[in-house]
Structures are given as structure tokens and as C-alpha cells.
Structure 1
Amino acid sequence: MAETNPSKTHNLRADGARLWATILETAAFGGTPAGGINRLTLSAEDGRVRDWFRDACEAAGLTVTVDALGTQYAVRPGRDMSRPPISFGSHLDTQPTGGKFDGVLGVLAGLEVMRSLNDAGLETEAPLMVVNWTNEEGSRFAPAMMASAAYAGDFTTDEILSKRDAAGITVAEALDAIGYRGAEDVGARAIGAFVELHIEQGPILEAEGKTIGVVEGGQGIMWFDGLITGFESHAGTTPMPRRRDALLALSEFALAAERIALAHAPSAVATIGEAQILAPSRNVVPGRVAFTVDVRDPRSPALDAMETSLREAATEIAERRRLEIALTRIWRKEPVPFDPAIVAAVDAAAESLGHARRRIISGAGHDACNLAAKVPTAMIFVPCKDGVSHNESESATPGDCAAGADVLLQTVLRLANAPRMEPPAR
């Protein structure tokens, strides 16, 4: 018979060596010669790691189900099955040149939490659930974090199923190809709270010598599509003052974006991540250039101000260079505050374990940021070497991964064994 023993749960730790072994084992699914992972969502490699995860969860006594967007839910029973499960996890898909930890750590540490509880013979009051969300990265299908966004109600299931990759394959077709279009309705499964363990993907924890980041929220994000229309002309015969060079206009705009972000230091960032000369030719002055802009800050007023400044810069450059700059905002996500009670539980767990910690804001988007609109949510960060992520050289230490898993385990126990809170009378 499983038990709930406060002193035993307080002393419980995850098996860090077993967690590290599973990280290395699953890195073989889509592993690259440079030591990273190329495991695009809903690819054959993703299908294989999903199979591995399902088998490992079932071997740990968990019940695994799949929803209509392929998200996997693995449930460990609690004493009170009427309570919604305390949930945790992340994603197993990667960038084309991804690393072994982004997303993967959160899912495999969730599995390790279940295994460690089994080893200790402990039962929680509320059930527990580890989740593998479909397509967090967005590198094959847009938008990123699409399954958690659909769970939160930002998209319908049909909208997501109809999205196409660069080859014209729909999400529905890709799910069917690997056998992971489940029968469960998206969003139908209740979640009592959600905690996501992740590498920081930034340099702050490592630079400050902190082991744990207690994440208070995610910063706001704006995405823009841009198109500069100048005039194509002969590279040899068009004098410099008469040119309407779209690429030079983009160069100026990129520097303006940098200045605007620096004006809102230290938290603001702006990135032109894509740029393409349309109809390029070696001996033609570029007439049209398409580009994207990514702007982020944890403060809504700063996002407003940066958008205004970007548009003013575009207008000034366009007028002076005698061309057109169209800047279209295609997405804005407001800064996301995480649930104070869940954040406090993470902080208390890290303190009880004696880990050096700090409060932090997530610079990257995560599934937890989508879920926060519907579910009490928080995140746990651990350092990654030099802050590098979305790169095959992405690295974290076994000790930091184990520490993160320990904080996750203790947070989950605090939440799952807390007295049940009844909703207030209306």
C-alpha cells in the first residue's frame, strides 16, 4: 500500500543519474553528428520518441492518453481522483539544429518524478500528470506552442489541424502519418496546476552562480512582417544618389530597431530574424526585401512605445530614401504573470533544498505561458552553458538537471498534498 508520509516526502529526491541516462537515451532519436538533435514535430523521429515516452510511462504504471493534436498525457492516480491532476512537463520536439535539453528536460524530469515516487512507495492526494505538448518549437508548423495554445482556447482544433508546413503537409496529415491523432478532445482534460521545468535559455543564472530560477512570468512578444518596396535598377549604371535600394533601407531599419530596444534597456530586445531579397540578382539593385521583426519586453507600456518608435523609424527611412516600408503586426502576446501561489511553492521547494535561487522572467515563450490563461502555472529554470539554446552545442550539467528535478518533485508534492480548496460560493 502506498503511503503519504510528510517526513519521507520532505527528504525525497529524484534519481539524477537515471534522469541523465534518459536524457542521453532519448537524444538518439534524431541525434546529429554534432551532438544535438534534429527532431521536428510530428516527424518520424518525433514519432519514435513519443513511442519511447509512452512505453516508459506505461512501464511506470501511468495511464497514457493522446488528444486530437497529439499531446500525450500520462496520469498517476492519487488518493482523491475527483481532484484535477497536478501537471508538469514540456515538449520533446526540437529545432532543426536543437540541443538535448530544451523542452526535453521538462518531460523527462516529469517522468523521473513519477519513477521516484514509485520507488519510494508514495501516493499523493491529488493525481499527477506529465504532459508532452505537441509542436512547442514551431520550426515545422506555425504557430509555435500550438497545442498548448489550443488547450487554452487561443485556436480551435480544426484551425491547428489545417496548418501546413513548407512542403504543404497539414498537421492532420502529419499526425496520421505517425499515428498520433488521438481521440480525446483538446482542452477537455482538467488540470489543477501546471509546473514546467526548463533550461533558462539565457545567461543570467550561470553568470550569477544560481542553480534555480523561480520564474514569475513570461515577457510580452510582438511579431511583425515587413516589406520594403524600392526600385530594381542596373547595379552598374544607376548612380548611388538615384538608387531606391530596399536592402539599404532594411539595414537602416535594423539599426533603428537596435537603438529602440536599447532605449528600453535592460529588458527590451528586438530581432530581425528573417530577411529575403525578392527576385535577387548579383547585378541588380534590390527592389523588394521581405523581413520579420521580433520584439519582446515584460512591460506592456514598453511594447506600445517600441511599436510606435518602429513605425516612426520606418516612415522616416521610407520618406528619405523614396521608397515604401510596410510593417504589419501579425501577433501580440501580452506579458504573462504566473500564479503567485504556484510561484511561492517553487520558491519554497528550492529554499527547502538549499539551492541558490533568484526570481526571474522568462525571455522565451513556453507552453506554460499559454496555459497560464487557464490554469495556475509557474516555471522552474536551471542554467545552461553560456546561455546557449536552439543550438547543437546546448549544454546543461547533470547536477543542475538533478537539482531542477528535485525542485520539481518537491513542488509537485506540496501542490498535490495541499488541502483541497473549494471554490467560493456564488
Structure 2
Amino acid sequence: MLPPDERRAFLTSLFDAAVTAADPAKVIAAHLPPLPKGRTIVIGAGKGAAQMAKALENHWEGPLSGVVVTRYGFGVACSRIEVLEASHPVPDEAGLFASRRLFKAVSNLTADDLVIALISGGGSALLPAPPEGMSLADEIAVNTALLSSGAPISAMNAVRKHLSTIKGGRLAAAAYPARVVSLIVSDIPGDDPALVASGPTVPDNISRHDALRAVERHRLLLPPMAMRHLESEEATAPHPDDPRFAGNEVHIIESARVSLEAAAAEARRRGIEAVVLSDAIQGEAREIAHMHAALAIEVAKRDAPFRKPVVMLSGGETTVSLTGHGKGGRNSEFLLSLAIDLDGQPDISAIAADTDGIDGSQDNAGAFADGTTVARLAANSVDARALLDGNDSWSAFFAIGDLFSPGPTGTNVNDFRAMLVE
């Protein structure tokens, strides 16, 4: 068996390979449209928006201008594109200002102009734009209810886009008659471009009635003004067949599958076989952990369905239904649940982290766990199950020095999980 430090170095190398494969600087040039007759305007939102803007500036041969918004601390210096920062995952006034700036950037354009939209995960929170009658406080309350509900991303975005004046294709509609080319780094299981950042430039056929059904199904407690708006025709979002979208293009330039395959290649380069379980796993983080743990133990005990040594990789977006008041994101919650199931299994170790470098609202991307995690927590007078019950996974891994904190990565292709069975 590898010493603990070497295991972590190996798992970290896989995360690094996954993130490198999703670096906008490496892929954006292949997806750029031809120069237009008129102006080129750049807009963007998401945790990777600033890095995408920098990469675009480096490869665009003509004049351009524009504005993008990213999370606080995720900005990079650009020479021609303005980079704004706002709050994530809870919207703030800076996000309201950013939404207004993006609308202003695409106003008064002509059919000869081109809009390049740089969209990545996180854009929903970064672009608050409540409809008339709703306040920023209402939008924050909606966002808080969604994040604590355990609802899948498709349900959350169905609600978000119908309680917004910028999401659901509305920003692209505002740019008409200019053509809009959307370059998207997908953090969505299945890579539906309309779901990334709630699709500010990409409409879909999800209706406000779908949003109301999601509210009922997931028992969401939304502010009265939000419910009133959802129940009105004013909440209806543009449809994909709207003629304002006829000349637009949408390109997924990076996704979880590409990153997972890069991590698998890195593992094989280091002499360990790798398998990608799925790039689209959804569900409660602690429940998904049970499935992963059962599979790892099966491999450890019976060499099936994969022969060890092997590293099993997966991606997607799990959720957390909040019942406690602790700290931590979905990746650390996954790992704490996994660690409880793996207790006493010395030959299994794992990493789970968000590829944007931030898990939830803390400054770590995720953490490490193995068959000794629960025992080491107990040695520090920490009850793993009690912390899991309180949604306090961050405190668990902080107590034993197992948080993983690479800092902002400049991209976002959602969760990355790797389990090594030696």
C-alpha cells in the first residue's frame, strides 16, 4: 500500500489533470466565430467567466469590448473586457449591478454586430435580476430555499429562470438583432446548455407550470411575491423557436466527461487502472456516498466488478437537504458519509472536490477520506455521525487536517470524485 502522503499526492494529481483539461485557455480558440462586419461585444457570467474572457482576449484578432461577472476572488486582469465580481452562492447588490451592466452592453446593437457569451456554472447567483414586484431580498430567499431543498439542478433552474428578467434566454433576446454565440463550460449532468447558469442566453421549453410543479414537489417555501409572479403569465420565458434566437449558436466547450477521461489517463500513466463510473450522478450526497462505498468495498474484497488496484472516477452534481446548521458543501458531505461506510477499510482512499475550487460557501474545494477517517476523528473527540447529521462535514475534516484547498481554478465542470482501491 502507498503511504498516506503518496495516496493524497496521487489523488491530487487526478484532480489537477481534470481541472487542466477544462482550462478555457486550451480550448476556446477552436470555438471562436468569424469576425463580424460590425462590433464584437463580450458578455459572461460564472465562476470561470474571467478566465474565459482572458483566453478570448488572447485569441481574438479584431476589436472587442464587453463585461463579465464572476465570484469574489475569481477575477483576473483583462485589458479590453471589464471583469466584475459579485457574491456566490447568495446574490448581492454587486450582482444586481452586474446584471444591469450586461444588459447595457447588449443594448442598441445591429444585425452586423456579434455577441460572444461566456457562460459557466455559478452564473445563476451572480446574475440576480428580479422581476417587477420582487426585491433582491426575495431573490435571496428563493435562492436559499432552493439550495437547502435537495432539489436537482433541473428543478432549481426551472424556478430560477421564471423568477428572473435575465435568465431563460432573456439576455440573448435583449441583444437582438445581433447574433449571439454562447461558449459554455458545463457543470450540468447531461450538459444541457440551457441549464448552465439558468441559461441567460439559451432558452428552453421548460414552462412556468413546470416551475410551479417543482415548487410543489420539493415543498419549497418561497416569498409571496415570488409565488404571485410564478402564477402569472408575466413569468413566461421566451421559447427556443422565438425568431430572436434564429441565428444564434451554442457550443459546449468543456464538460465533466472530458475532465474525467483526462484524470483516467493520468491514473493509467501512473500505473493504476481507472474506470469512469458516470459524469452525470445526481442525488443526495450522503446517499450517493453509500453507493460508492459499497462498490469500493466489493472491489476490495472480491476484485469485482473491477480488479484492484483501480481508481474509480465519477462526476455530476449531488445535492444536500439541509436539516442542520453546520458548515460544508456537497463534496465534504459525500466524503463524511463515505468515510463512515469505509470505517476499518485500510486499502480504500478517496477525494471529492468541486472543480471550481470551492465547495459550498467555505474556502475548500472538498476533502480527503479513507478507512481511518472515522477513527482519527474519534481520537480527536469528534463524532463523525453527529457532524454528518448536523450537515457539519467541514468541521469534521478541518479537525483532522483533511480539507483540500487548491484555491480558485478558473473553470467549473462540477464535482470530481476519485476512489482508489489498492
State the TM-score, normalizing by the size of structure 1: 0.30
**Structure (1 or 2) with the greater helix fraction:** 2
State the TM-score, normalizing by the size of structure 2: 0.30
Structure with the larger RCO, 1 or 2 (CA within 8 Å, 6+ apart): 1
